[in-house]
Structure 1
Amino acid sequence: MRIHITDLIDGDILSTDTFNTYGLHVLSKGTPLSSCEISKLLQHQIDYVEIHSRVAEHVPMRTIESGLNPKWLPTVEPIYQNAVNGCEQLFQDALHNGRIQEADVIQSFQPLVDNFKMERDVVSMLLLLNTKDDYTYQHSVQVGMLAYYLASWLGYEEKQAVKIGQAGFLHDIGKCRIEDSILNKPERLTEQEYELVKQHTVYGHDIIQRSFGDTLHATVALEHHERTDGTGYPNRISGDDMHPVSKIVAVADVYSAMISSRVYQKKRDLLFVLRELYRMSFSELDPFTTHTFIKHMIPNFIGKRVVLTTGESGTIVMTHPSEFFRPLIQIDDQFFDLTVDRNLEVKHVYM
């Protein structure tokens, strides 16, 4: 049986020899898999392997919902939570001292990069780790990592991609000056409250500027809610005047906000979120940046279960590089190419 490596469990046995994309032999047929072997597959960027059928396969519910095997949790969850806690401490420092320390930013964010950079299924990783608690801090962590990934996909070198990830990590630091009663309000904000929240961009720019000077991080904090059509805030600048990294963080910011659970918002369907980003790329978000993000996120859906508009359930077996939202679906022994069957659409993706 063919299986994605994030769905492997201890005790699975390879049924064929495994090679990487360069043709190098990685693991032999008959190898029992444990965390060590699975880590080796990750390091060689192998997505799928062939294993012997399991005698009795029990998939925990959390795996079905997320797509990422819970056995990774003991490794990645503490790192993620430490970053969330570190972000909270940075907010407290910014509130009480008016500034933050660069060493604290690196200490909080760098372990994420070091431990998550090889993770291929970004979608599942974020959903599995995301909770309703500490939304502001979790959102900052997620935007930092998404900005790092997106910068890498856009061709930035590792050192610069990390710097961009840090800018994403700090993009909302100005919210430390907004009252929790407003930030966590379960109902729709009043116009006056919304105007107060919009000031977090100015506050963030001020905090970072006082901490590090007039840096990229300060620019991103100020501009991440600007929009290419000039409808954003605080200065209603257009895309030509936005820093390229602000455009990266804007995409990461919107995506993270839409997939997150909050007291007033349920998680949206993942394909719906990408469709919404695609729609926004023709007006509010930079199209090249947004389409690059979508192109790299869409392959994460391969192997995921879906429900079609007909009510039928199937599995995504292939995605298309141009028609992002019309994959090849397998239902039992039949295959349906949604680029051909234009009457069919994916209604919901099960992660």
Structure 2
Amino acid sequence: MRRVNTSALIPGMVTGEDVFNYNNHLILPKGLILTDKAITKLEFYSIINVRIEDEVIETPETQVKEDTSYSERLKLSPEFQHFQEDFTKETEHFKDVIDNFVGDSGELDADQLVEHALSLLSSENKYVNVFDMLHSMRQLDDATYVHCMNVGLICNIFAHWLRMDEEEIRTATLSGLLHDIGKIKMPEKILKKPGKLTAWEFGVVKTHPKESYKMLENHPLNIHIKNAALMHHERCDGSGYPLGLTSDSIDPYAKMVAIADVYDAMTSARVYRGPLCPFKVIETFENEGFQKYDSKYILPFLENIVDTYLLHDVRLTNGESGKIVYINPHKLSKPTIKVGDKYINLSQEPHLFIDAIL
């Protein structure tokens, strides 16, 4: 392992340690294979040098047109195809394990669940932005199993952002994976209803946290995992369900899962709407999040989420397209966009928003 100046980095080099910016936010994870985009990100943050592994990984480039968007290039890349294949395989495995648990055996191998989920964040999959990957797979069927996998992965990354230790990261990952298993017993006609739920139907859906808790209650799992299943719809202002708890009574892992759950649900396609742009979700969190969510968790989540989209191409609500070049720390949903030769500070444009990530 050696330390290399950023100006001397080349695609294929592998980071030997996590790289943080001046705000102590993770920019690039350890074990990431550098791409031109990743190197540009280091330059943007004025990172002087990076610890690099001795090996250099050959990464074949997919030939695409110059004017294709980052999202289109990503979907054509071998990295995305590899991740999508692995994600589908691991989700099927997760489904089999949970169905077996709910069915006759009643056994749950938590270690195996975590190991399989984390395989998506290891080796060659680790050098791509997992949020980019999940965002690009939003056309997939976002059933309960897929949602649980997404939330498990998001909680794992979230825990790393919070600098949790390995056991805490494992607990956060399992909390995300298992938080919604009670929905498996719910009628599909309610879960997939294209219109607004009736009061009775919504009442049925609101029973899933207690159902999830009952399914996990008698198993030798960390109590935080069980609490996350029960409390992930509780809100700090007491407006949540099923118990109407306030902040002091809500398990910290449930607070993490609540944020990851809402983020994934809102950025995923639903039978009654398409996926929302992540910046619309961030705006929603900014508008109501500090009453409903613990600032200890919502602030680092939003700050790190926004950082993952720095230098991404976006489309604005006025139809113009540009690149995110600066994150506004006081209004995270309103970064500065470079459109051609001009710069648009969205925080000074009250009626202009990011409509889509390209």
Structure 2 Cα separation of the partners of residues 335 and 26 of structure 1: 26
- Residue 274 (structure 1) aligns with: 282
Aligned to 1:24, the other structure's residue is in SS state strand
> Residues of 2 paired with 1:116 and 1:190: CA distance?
46
Q: Distance in 2 between matches of 1:83 and 1:202?
A: 26
| Residues in 2 aligned to 1:180 and 1:298: alpha-carbon distance in whole angstroms | 34
Cα 1:184–1:104 change in 2 (3 A) is farther
The residue aligned with 1:223 is 231
The alignment status of 1:81 with 2:61, answered yes or no, reads no
How do 1:132-147 and structure 2 match up within 5 A? 132-147=140-155
1:231, distance to aligned residue in structure 2 (A)? 1.2
1:24 correspondence with 2:18: no
In structure 1, give the amino acid aligned to 2:154.
L
Identity within the alignment, %: 25
- C-alpha separation in 2, matches of 1:60 and 1:145: 31
C-alpha change, 1:57 and 1:73, in structure 2 (3 Å) is closer
Match of 2:296 among 276, 284, 288: 288
- Equivalent residues in 2 for 1:131-170, closer than 5 Å: 131-170=139-178
Q: CA separation in 1, counterparts of 2:255 and 2:352?
A: 30
Q: Tell me if structure 2 keeps the 8 A contact 1:99–1:207.
A: no
Question: Matches of 1:60 and 1:39 in 2, distance apart?
Answer: 28
- Per the alignment, residue 246 of structure 1 pairs with 254
Letter in 2 for 1:225: H
What is the TM-score of this pair, normalised by structure 1?
0.80
CA–CA distance in 2 between the matches of 1:264 and 1:207?
29
Q: In structure 2, what is the equivalent of residue 185 of structure 1?
A: 193
Is there any run of 5+ residues in structure 2 with no aligned partner, and where?
17-27, 44-60
Give the conservation status (yes or no) of the 8 Å contact 1:94–1:173: no
Residue type at the aligned position of 2:163: G
- Is this contact kept in 2: 1:226–1:237, CA < 8 A? yes
One-letter code aligned to 2:258: A
Give 1:62 deviation, angstroms: 7.4
Give the Cα–Cα distance (whole angstroms) in 2 for the partners of residues 183 and 343 of structure 1.
Answer: 36
**Cα deviations across residues 172-218 of structure 1 (Å, max 9, x unaligned)?**
11112212222222222221121112111111111112222562211
Distance across 2 between alignment mates of 1:262 and 1:197 = 15
- Is 1:64 matched with 2:55? no
3-state secondary structure, aligned to 1:268: coil
User: Among 271, 280, 304, which residue is 1:263 paired with?
Assistant: 271
Q: Report the Cα distance in structure 1 between the residues aligned to 2:184 and 2:346, rounded to whole angstroms.
A: 46
How big is the shift at 1:270?
A: 1.8
Aligned residue pairs, count: 321
With over 3 angstroms needed to count, the CA separation of the structure-2 counterparts of 1:108 and 1:203, relative to structure 1, is farther
Matched, 1:325 2:333: yes
Alignment-mate amino acid for residue 163 of structure 1: T
Give the structure 2 partner of residue 336 of structure 1. 344
My pick for the range that moved more, 108-117 or 142-151, is: 108-117
**1:345 corresponding residue in structure 2:** 352
- Pair 1:159–1:225, CA change in 2 (3 A): same
- Compare 191-200 and 325-334 and name the one that shifted more: 325-334
In the superposition, relative to structure 1, how do residues 324 and 262 fare at CA in structure 2: closer, same or farther (>3 Å)? same
- Aligned partner of residue 245 in structure 2, secondary structure: coil
Change beyond 3 A, Cα 1:179–1:326: closer
Report the aligned-residue RMSD. Answer: 3.1
| Structure 1: gaps (5+ residues) | 1-19
Range moving further from structure 2, 250-259 or 229-238: 229-238
Correspondence for 1:237: 245
2:312 corresponding residue in structure 1: 304
Q: CA deviation at 1:148?
A: 1.0
Structure 1 contact 100–208 (Cα < 8 Å) conserved: no
After TM superposition, give the deviation of residue 157 of structure 1 in Å. 1.5
Offset of residue 296 of structure 1: 0.3
Residue matched to 1:128: 136
1:282-332, Cα deviation, whole Å (9 max, x unpaired): 222222311111100112222222344554332212213333123222122
Residue 208 in structure 1 maps to residue 199 in structure 2: no
- Cα distance change, pair 303–239 in 1 and its aligned pair in 2 (3 A): same
Contact 1:174 1:207 in 2 (8 A): yes
Amino acid of the structure 2 residue aligned with 1:256: D
